[in-house]
Structure 1
Amino acid sequence: MLEREPELAQSLAGGVLPALRTIEIADLTMPPARRLRLERRRLALRVAIGDLSGREDLSAVTRALSDFADRALHTAILTAIEERTPGAAPIGFTGIALGKQGSHELNYSSDIDPILLFDPATLPHRAREAPEEAAVRIAKRVVEILQARDGDGYVLRVDLRLRPSPEITPIALSIDAAISYYESLALPWERAAFIRARAAAGDIALGERFLAAVQPFVWRRALDFGAIGEIRGISRRIRDHYAQGQAFGPGYDLKRGRGGIREVEFFAQIHQLIHGGRDPALRVADTRGALAALAAAGWVDPDEAVALSDSYTLLRTIEHRVQMIEDRQTHQLPTGEALDGVAKLHGVADAGALLDLLRPAVTATARSYDALDPEEGDALSFEGDRLDTQLAEAGFVETKLAAQRIEQWRGGGYPALRSPAARAALEAVLPGLIAALGGAPDPQGAIVRLDRMLARLSSAVNFFRLLEARPALARLLGLILSHAETLAEDLARRPELIDGLIDATALDPVEDVAMLAGEMRGGADYQAQLDHVRRVVGEKRFALGTQIIAGVSDPLIVSAGYARVAEAAIRVLATATIAEFALAHGHVPCSELVILALGRMGGGALTHASDLDLIYLFTGDYLAESDGAKPLGAVLYYNRLAQRISAALSVPTASGPLYEVDTRLRPSGTQGPLSVSLDGFARYQRESAWTWEHMALARARCVFGSAHAEAAVSAIVGAVLRGDRPRRDVVAEGTKMRADMAAHKPPLGPLDAKLLPGGLVDLEFAVHMVQLQSGQGLDPNLRRAIAALDAAGLAPAAMLPAHDLLTRLLVTLRLVAPDARAPGPATQALVAQALGMTDWPAVVASLETTRQEVSAWLKHVEEPTP
């Protein structure tokens, strides 16, 4: 710099330290960006010599650097406005200085951290341009002017990430939007940042209006326990985020290290936040001024305030020495010979002498800062090294990953964690929660899934309080999060599902259909009834899935439980929908709705993710008409009613989704009416249905309708399955259909127990072809059907255990590995336990053996030997 500024060098060589105003360039024809770059270079040289020579103290140095930053930001704003709207008044756009610029404490290589605000009513903008667009373009140009580099260097680094919600907001915000944010959504650390906020550039009056509006956010007169806890939380987070536990010595971080500059700053700011709401004299922006004010008011010991102020001065001075070398944006002491160079630049003999000079200041600062918030009992630490140790002791291997997640939660980064009450509840539950997750089979997977869950919650207070009150629930949650992403997703949508596990009976098999239906009935009106059913079904399905994860139920029993829950929901919702529909349309005389279930629902064995295959039928005369105020013909009546019931079962409400309903197995498929008369159904099945439809009919079961109607439907189904149907080559058509299905619906993954060759679909095809050929084993429940065929000598004895293994695997993997790929080692052990096997290799081997056995039987059925 001396070589490039000969006039300034000559003045300095003569023992004259020029006035700061002499660095300004009078040539106004020079482009503003270049003029500022040259002025910045001159300023850095002039201030550095004043600093090193001892002619100017730290306050003078930082004030000069900060004043230039203000002027540069102001010039950039005015330039950007003039370039876009020549001659317009430079109003409506302001730069709020935060951080060290705001407190006039900038160092040589500081970023500036402004918040750029605008007033849509007064900001100059071009014709047909929205003020919001103009503001963003002005802000981009401001940053470009200040940050662009050329042979003359740059002006300032600009960091706009301290604005509200920087990940989603534009780089320039309207003043009203910013005020609204700070009044309702701002985080505790933002309160600390605004202690040093100042209207520094652009429309100063606009900036001061903004700061006046948000003053109540920063300075609160009444401090309740929640607010005090909030402020203590700032202290802990700063200690963790900035201290990092660096050891004092070569390489020590003067800013972030324990006992460093940050700790002095936040020692002062925490006391200011606690007491400044009632005492305006404490609202001092600069660190040493704040310490003096706190001492004068009696809130900090005067000797401690002086010691911290002296430490701050020394640490900032040495920080400047480090940054003078090559204009480095660093706060770390170098190592080796470079540290000797810094020592000599400061005027001491060597690195050892420099460290001896710094050590007492660092030690005293760390001691004062630690006293702000000593560790409490078994609470989870905020200090990085200690937290890593606690996480490792809890069972986490990758402690850094877990620590990052915890830091994110504590920082209020998710909506559910923004309130003081939520963070207080988080801190209360964290020790037990981390112990539970660490003791879970997959701690890393568990904490990642919990993080996803917290990111989606709208509120977390009750969730945390429940876990704190019920440690056993926290352990169960650890199992769920370790193994079952499906259940974790359910929890993210409805955290209250965890409430259903409080009762010990939640891990028992679910009740029969009648009792479940009784539990599902309720609600002041139809909509309330829909919501109530969804709540109960959600709790029951979640509890059933948890039974598998906790290892307390056989997946076969859980599968039957899922089906009973679904049947109860169908009964209750169909009844409620019929009553609601009848208010307008009445009833069709001597007629009723019947719902027939097929597929896994017909067989009474669902998975957590199963949809419902339903056929809607009605009894009586299809030419009849309903008797309501708005009468409908029977066909139209029951088709609209069926649509309403399907919607009641499938359309999400405020309480979440219920089931996917598939009606494609109805007569004539998607081309046919949604609901058909019982006579029409019988005629279709006897005369027109395809073989695959008769195979599907083998698992048909009435799930809604009177006993009389159910008997009539069952008689039709039984007659068709026993031969009252067109004569067709069942084996040939079934074989072709299975080949077509395999071509169009391949397995999801290597463990797809349903679609793999030799899986459940192959087993079902074999069973149904034998059923249709023989008229034997006609039970909609596949397991009972196989047992009957085995007893009749029509199925190998191995098919019953094959069915059980494949079903257990399918039901379990739908929860823990819905992609049908091998889960992690911990979950592999869970799957083996659910299948009653010793280990994962045994599961893989048994699956392979079972598939071979099923494939062999299917081949035998398709190609019977003479």
Structure 2
Amino acid sequence: MSLPPLAALPANLQPSADRALFTFRSALAEHDQAFADWPDERQEAFARVAAASDFVAEQSQRDPAMLLALAASGELERSLASGELRAQVAELLEDCTEEDDLGRRLRRYRNRQQLRIIWRDLTRQADLAETCRDLSDLADASIDLAYHWLYSRHCAQFGTPIGHRSGQPQHLVVLGMGKLGAFELNLSSDIDLIFGYPEGGETEGAKRALDNQEFFTRLGQRLIKALDAITVDGFVFRVDMRLRPYGSSGPLVFSFNALEQYYQDQGRDWERYAMIKARVVGGDQAAGAQLLQMLRPFVYRRYLDFSAIEALRSMKQLIQQEVRRKGMTENVKLGSGGIREVEFIAQAFQLIHGGRDLSLQQRPLLKVLDTLEGQGYLPPPVVAEMKEGYEFLRYTEHALQAIADRQTQMLPDSDLDRARVAFIMGFDDWAAFHERLMHWRGRVEWHFQQVIADPDEEEGGGSEGCIGGEWLPLWEEALDEESACRQLGESGFAEPAVAWRRLTDLRNGPQVRAMQRLGRERLDAFIPRLLNLTAEHRNPDLVLERVLPMVEKVARRSAYLVLLTENPGALQRLIELCGASPWIAEQITRFPLLLDELLNEGRLYRPPLAPELAAELRERLTRIPEDDLEQQMEALRHFKLAHSLRVAASEIAGTLPLMKVSDYLTWLAEAILDQVLALTWRQTVAKYGTPKRADGSLCDPDFVIVGYGKVGGLEFGHGSDLDLVFIHDGDPQAETDGAKPIDGAQFFTRLGQRIIHLLTTQTTSGALYEVDMRLRPSGAAGLLVSSLGAFQRYQENEAWTWEHQALVRARVLVGSPRVASAFEQVRLAVLGRERDLDKLRAEVSEMRAKMRGNLGTRETAAGSGPNAFEAAASFDLKQDAGGIVDIEFMVQYAALAWSRQHPSLVRYTDNIRILDGLEQASLLAGDEVRLLQEAYKAYRSAAHRQALQKQPGVVSGDQFHAERRGVMRIWRELGLN
């Protein structure tokens, strides 16, 4: 947001303006002409700024030449370029030789910049972002350049600190916390710092060696003095070191090992909250980056961490108590609906989700809010309102601090300062400003309550008022079994005794008995809520049966219980999905991190399209170090699990029809394979070098992954295997160009092995996919990776008819576009060959008969007669006569038989569009095509439903008689038997 233009100067501020003009002119004396040369608008701006800010009035009186120089430089009317402020400070310190002079120069420069920043802020020439950036840049430059100035002189006095382990010179790392870390300093901020150094050791080059700890402690003290000490010139920045380990009672500086050990063993929740914004602002930037990497696991947990909500709520309660105790309800930062509440909202999401959603691992609050909107955590209207409210509060904070350069967030009680604040904020009077301020504080408080507030508060609190409180006596065994069963029965449980036994088994089970006190409290808060919502479900017995194993699984990691307790909507969705599908219930039980997906209803039931899916995965992986294979594998698996759940949830909710479900699951597999290929290519090239083509040029990557079967035919289902073939077009004999060269054939084989390893390795998040490579040339006896030439020769000279049938559904999923095009040419040439139709019919029929005999149900294995199936007790959707494979075989037969005359038949790999092609070529009647398409979709839809119910693809024999009869009729009419 931007503030309205400054209103007319109120009458009660006019005397301040007149007084400032008079004292400025008096102080100028010999410079009076310079002021007279100012344009009228600048003179008017001075009067208005000085009327609003005592600091500007006093600085212009105390050092009028400073303001004149600022005006002459043009800096009052323009933004500073990136790095310009640091360059000015560096130039200022070039010829500085004395420590006292260092402090004097920094203070005078700070006053000059403070005057410029306030001037530009109050005249609306700078927005909030520029003001905060300039103040943060000023702090960065002051800290870092003062540190380096002091370091060289400190080394000259005490020697250079050397690390015991590395033998290298050591530097201090200065971490900026809070608003400094996020580039959000306000007009009169303290700077919160933490000092660290990489490793222990001693100084070298002086008569008496100092321990590195002592060296950096003394250096840190000198740095604080250079910045913080109040002299006749004021101060540079007030320095607050209380955020360091152990606070004011702890050492001033810590080695990296000591910092890591402290946060690992003793770090508290508020320290995690503070460390979110930590940034290296001075000293050794490279070592500082290593330190932040070491501390990241403390801040961002790899699992969903809803316990952060409780910690933030406790912190807020402590702040509110302090606010009330000190009478600070009028504080725009700490009071209700203040700046801190917006920060808490953003950082709650960061602490909860940031370990897994790396896009949240950033510092500036407004960017975090944008990410929360972009990633679907908060709706756009909520984010827009919070951003506007936050900016209004920050502008108000700046208005309060601009008056006297004091660190205050308290609304004034004097009429003069109230008039100043209203004027700075662009309002005609205090009443109009205060009304708007209270509007924004009310909106911020409301949003804060939605995220941070205790979900029981609005229910009145206490066991009677908490959600599901009527179930608490039952869970805590205050009821005998008869009374408990009666309550369960009256609430809709069909088998109350079974439900009671399940709850009792959970309560007395080893997982719950081993819980710590805090975890048990969380479980006791959760179970009544679960029972309350379960009782409202149409089949509460089934829900309890499926959800309680998940509760037992997460009992020792009770942050997941907090997630569901804090988010009734997520708990409701858990109950609905588990009630609808045991497959989903099992997935969530095995991988509780999927509970995160239940938080956002809009995102859960609207999975992204293929380009968005690929972009999201690519972005996730770019945030992981290239050499961290373990984290890359976990990220891939979590991505697959999360999006598979979203597709299943959408299918159950009816927001995705069958064909789209298969599309999404296929796109998901392709996005994952694309990144797996990219990762394994980088790893293999890093180890062996890049393989070469026949002409000696380097491959890039000249490799494709071909999908067969369901993934090739865009008919992927829940739990489908990947039928893959790997093909390369490099020179098998030419060696790679790396330090450990191997020939091209070996390179691509090892690349293929790495791909399979990444896909199939079991981690804590399971495997990505089961992979079947038996469709490669010569099957299990053949090479893992074929050259394109070898693949072509095999298909032309050695492949069986059934392998050509499989080729109908083959397509390149990911890899080199050039090789993909060449593969497609080979595929079309092989499929379009002239064939003996009688021989083809016989071979297709023979293969189908074998499959029916081996895989179909006994009653219809032979497939004899149009009504042979009617007495069967069951129907295997895939293998029985008249089922899915019959339709697939007819499509494949037609493609092989007629694609020479009608090449468009093999343009697509999915059965539905090939059938469309058969109608367009007048090879099958329209009615027959629609019969086959509708039967095929009906079978696949039933198979999907079975999969979500964790049932095999077999249904009752009294189903699909008309479809089966029609399929078998067309089978015979094609001459197949």
TM norm structure 2: 0.46
The aligned counterpart of 1:755 is: 879
The aligned counterpart of 2:816 is: 706
Q: Among residues 397, 401, 420, which one is paired with 2:494 in the alignment?
A: 397
Kept after mapping to 1: 8 A contact 2:515/2:556: no
Please state if 1:572 is matched with 2:701: no
SS in 2 for 1:862: coil
The aligned counterpart of 1:783 is: 912
Q: Using a 3 Å threshold, how does the CA distance of structure 1 residues 468 and 862 change in structure 2: closer, same or farther?
A: farther
The one-character-per-residue Cα deviations of 1:309-339 (angstroms, maximum 9, x if unpaired) are: xxxxxxxxxxxxxxxxxxxxxxxxxxxxxxx
Q: Using a 3 Å threshold, how does the CA distance of structure 1 residues 728 and 636 change in structure 2: closer, same or farther?
A: farther
Query: Following superposition of structure 1 onto structure 2, how do residues 729-768 of structure 1 map, counting pairs within 5 Å?
Result: 729-746=839-856, 750-768=874-892
In structure 2, what is the Cα distance between the partners aligned to 1:679 and 1:735?
Answer: 31
Identity %: 29
Kept after mapping to 2: 8 A contact 1:416/1:422: no
The aligned counterpart of 2:963 is: 850
Query: Following superposition of structure 1 onto structure 2, how do residues 262-661 of structure 1 map, counting pairs within 5 Å?
Result: 378-379=468-469, 380=471, 381-382=473-474, 383-384=479-480, 385-414=482-511, 418-457=515-554, 459-521=556-618, 522=621, 523-524=624-625, 525-590=628-693, 591=699, 592-661=702-771
In structure 1, what is the Cα distance between the partners aligned to 2:948 and 2:885?
Answer: 20
The one-character-per-residue Cα deviations of 1:252-302 (angstroms, maximum 9, x if unpaired) are: xxxxxxxxxxxxxxxxxxxxxxxxxxxxxxxxxxxxxxxxxxxxxxxxxxx
Kept after mapping to 1: 8 A contact 2:736/2:742: yes
Unpaired runs of 5+ in structure 2? 1-309, 312-461, 694-698, 859-872
Kept after mapping to 2: 8 A contact 1:486/1:815: yes
The aligned counterpart of 2:893 is: 769
The aligned counterpart of 1:793 is: 922
The aligned counterpart of 1:804 is: 937
SS in 1 for 2:707: strand
The one-character-per-residue Cα deviations of 1:117-136 (angstroms, maximum 9, x if unpaired) are: xxxxxxxxxxxxxxxxxxxx
- State the Cα distance separating 1:468 from its structure 2 match: 1.8
SS in 2 for 1:414: helix
1:677 counterpart letter in structure 2: S
Kept after mapping to 2: 8 A contact 1:442/1:483: no
1:544 counterpart letter in structure 2: V
In structure 1, what is the Cα distance between the partners aligned to 2:658 and 2:884?
Answer: 15
SS in 2 for 1:616: strand
Q: Which moved more, 1:768-777 or 1:426-435?
A: 426-435
Kept after mapping to 2: 8 A contact 1:593/1:618: yes
Kept after mapping to 1: 8 A contact 2:670/2:813: yes
- State the Cα distance separating 1:772 from its structure 2 match: 0.5
In structure 1, what is the Cα distance between the partners aligned to 2:791 and 2:578?
Answer: 47
In structure 1, what is the Cα distance between the partners aligned to 2:523 and 2:811?
Answer: 49
In structure 2, what is the Cα distance between the partners aligned to 1:468 and 1:500?
Answer: 15
Query: Following superposition of structure 1 onto structure 2, how do residues 707-722 of structure 1 map, counting pairs within 5 Å?
Result: 707-722=817-832
- State the Cα distance separating 1:705 from its structure 2 match: 1.5
Q: Using a 3 Å threshold, how does the CA distance of structure 1 residues 848 and 675 change in structure 2: closer, same or farther?
A: same
Kept after mapping to 1: 8 A contact 2:506/2:512: no
The aligned counterpart of 2:427 is: none
The aligned counterpart of 1:311 is: none
In structure 2, what is the Cα distance between the partners aligned to 1:459 and 1:556?
Answer: 40
1:805 counterpart letter in structure 2: A
- State the Cα distance separating 1:642 from its structure 2 match: 0.6
In structure 2, what is the Cα distance between the partners aligned to 1:676 and 1:728?
Answer: 32
In structure 2, what is the Cα distance between the partners aligned to 1:550 and 1:593?
Answer: 39
- State the Cα distance separating 1:501 from its structure 2 match: 2.4
In structure 1, what is the Cα distance between the partners aligned to 2:737 and 2:920?
Answer: 51
Please state if 1:665 is matched with 2:775: yes
In structure 2, what is the Cα distance between the partners aligned to 1:737 and 1:575?
Answer: 38
In structure 1, what is the Cα distance between the partners aligned to 2:576 and 2:878?
Answer: 26
- State the Cα distance separating 1:549 from its structure 2 match: 2.4
Q: Using a 3 Å threshold, how does the CA distance of structure 1 residues 580 and 514 change in structure 2: closer, same or farther?
A: farther
The aligned counterpart of 2:951 is: 818
Kept after mapping to 2: 8 A contact 1:416/1:457: no
In structure 1, what is the Cα distance between the partners aligned to 2:637 and 2:880?
Answer: 33
SS in 2 for 1:656: coil
Q: Using a 3 Å threshold, how does the CA distance of structure 1 residues 502 and 747 change in structure 2: closer, same or farther?
A: farther
The aligned counterpart of 1:686 is: 796
- State the Cα distance separating 1:489 from its structure 2 match: 1.6
- State the Cα distance separating 1:697 from its structure 2 match: 0.3
- State the Cα distance separating 1:386 from its structure 2 match: 4.2
Kept after mapping to 2: 8 A contact 1:394/1:434: no
The one-character-per-residue Cα deviations of 1:155-174 (angstroms, maximum 9, x if unpaired) are: xxxxxxxxxxxxxxxxxxxx
In structure 2, what is the Cα distance between the partners aligned to 1:802 and 1:376?
Answer: 54
In structure 2, what is the Cα distance between the partners aligned to 1:455 and 1:463?
Answer: 11
In structure 2, what is the Cα distance between the partners aligned to 1:594 and 1:731?
Answer: 32
Kept after mapping to 1: 8 A contact 2:610/2:664: no
The one-character-per-residue Cα deviations of 1:35-91 (angstroms, maximum 9, x if unpaired) are: xxxxxxxxxxxxxxxxxxxxxxxxxxxxxxxxxxxxxxxxxxxxxxxxxxxxxxxxx
The aligned counterpart of 2:975 is: 862
- State the Cα distance separating 1:613 from its structure 2 match: 0.3
In structure 2, what is the Cα distance between the partners aligned to 1:732 and 1:418?
Answer: 66
- State the Cα distance separating 1:846 from its structure 2 match: 5.9
Kept after mapping to 2: 8 A contact 1:665/1:693: yes
Kept after mapping to 2: 8 A contact 1:563/1:605: yes
In structure 1, what is the Cα distance between the partners aligned to 2:553 and 2:744?
Answer: 46
- State the Cα distance separating 1:854 from its structure 2 match: 1.6
In structure 2, what is the Cα distance between the partners aligned to 1:468 and 1:416?
Answer: 20
SS in 2 for 1:798: helix
- State the Cα distance separating 1:850 from its structure 2 match: 1.4
Aligned residues: CA RMSD: 2.7
Unpaired runs of 5+ in structure 1? 1-224, 227-372, 823-842
1:791 counterpart letter in structure 2: Q
Q: Which moved more, 1:731-740 or 1:373-382?
A: 373-382
In structure 2, what is the Cα distance between the partners aligned to 1:753 and 1:707?
Answer: 37
In structure 1, what is the Cα distance between the partners aligned to 2:642 and 2:488?
Answer: 32
- State the Cα distance separating 1:689 from its structure 2 match: 0.6
Q: Using a 3 Å threshold, how does the CA distance of structure 1 residues 477 and 494 change in structure 2: closer, same or farther?
A: same
Q: Using a 3 Å threshold, how does the CA distance of structure 1 residues 755 and 436 change in structure 2: closer, same or farther?
A: farther
In structure 2, what is the Cα distance between the partners aligned to 1:416 and 1:709?
Answer: 59
2:946 counterpart letter in structure 1: L
In structure 1, what is the Cα distance between the partners aligned to 2:513 and 2:737?
Answer: 52
Kept after mapping to 2: 8 A contact 1:666/1:672: yes
Kept after mapping to 2: 8 A contact 1:616/1:642: yes
The aligned counterpart of 1:275 is: none
- State the Cα distance separating 1:408 from its structure 2 match: 2.4
